[in-house]
Amino acid sequence: MVSQDLQHSTRRGPFFHLIHLISRQRLISVGKEIHEGAKFYAAVELVNRSFKACDIFVCDVLQRHTMQINNFSPPENVYAESLLAGKRWVDRNNKHFQSLKIPYNIFHWEKYLLRQEFPSLQEKILVAYEEDSNFKEAMHDTITEFVNRYARRFDIIDEKMAFKCCFDYLVEETAIIMLMMQKDQYKYIVYPGKMPKVLSAARDKFVVPNNLELLKWVTIYIRHR
């Protein structure tokens, strides 16, 4: 989630992943346990107490990239599958949204992906990758972290394909969050995990020089009882 106004800081404890909100923003990774059931409800309640408004971004179609790892279905089929998963997630968790007492909106990833300016901003990230060695290193480190985490759960059939899927994912994510959402003046991104290294590098490169107050990453921690 992303929020424009942070009423008070979140408390630290076992962390909980949420997905973006700007000005009001929170990010949701479809399918993660942390975004389901009682854990998701706890995060919603924490956002209720901490922010004045939020936009919930469901990163459904973004996940089509990593869904292609070990998946040889046509890309259009995977796209449709990811979109359906996002819609089902919203339906499944609608009861938790009803507990929000602050103004909120729910958006899907296509809100930004289908904008006319997306291709040019995506190209801007690709140029940064080619010309900025620090940014490239951050990209590779983030990919390595994800691939290693994935490999602990599944066998990777094609390592080059896994790298490409992660690269495409991160280029798209970085262009949308750090370039497009910056234009929408979101102040906070709420997520139950640390900011990926490449997003941090992109914020330093593209956001901080323009406005230090935008797109601050807020990690939500949920205490286990």
Higher pLDDT, 168 or 53: 168
Question: Total structural domains in the chain?
Answer: 1
By CB atoms closer than 10 A (0-12, 13-18, 19+), residue 25 is buried
pLDDT digits (tens, 9 = 90+) for 138-157: 999 999 999 999 998 888 88
pLDDT digits (tens, 9 = 90+) for 53-106: 889 899 999 999 999 999 989 999 999 999 999 999 999 888 888 888 989 999
Which is it for strands 20-28 and 54-58: parallel, antiparallel or unpaired? parallel
Task: Give the C-alpha separation, 105 to 60, whole Å.
Answer: 16
CA geometry: angle 145, 146, 150, nearest 5 deg? 120
- pLDDT over threshold 90, residue 164: yes
Domain residues for the domain of 119 are 2-221
Domain at 66, CATH number: 3.40.50.11710
3-state class (DSSP) for residue 105: strand
pLDDT at 133: 98
pLDDT digits (tens, 9 = 90+) for 190-200: 887 889 999 99
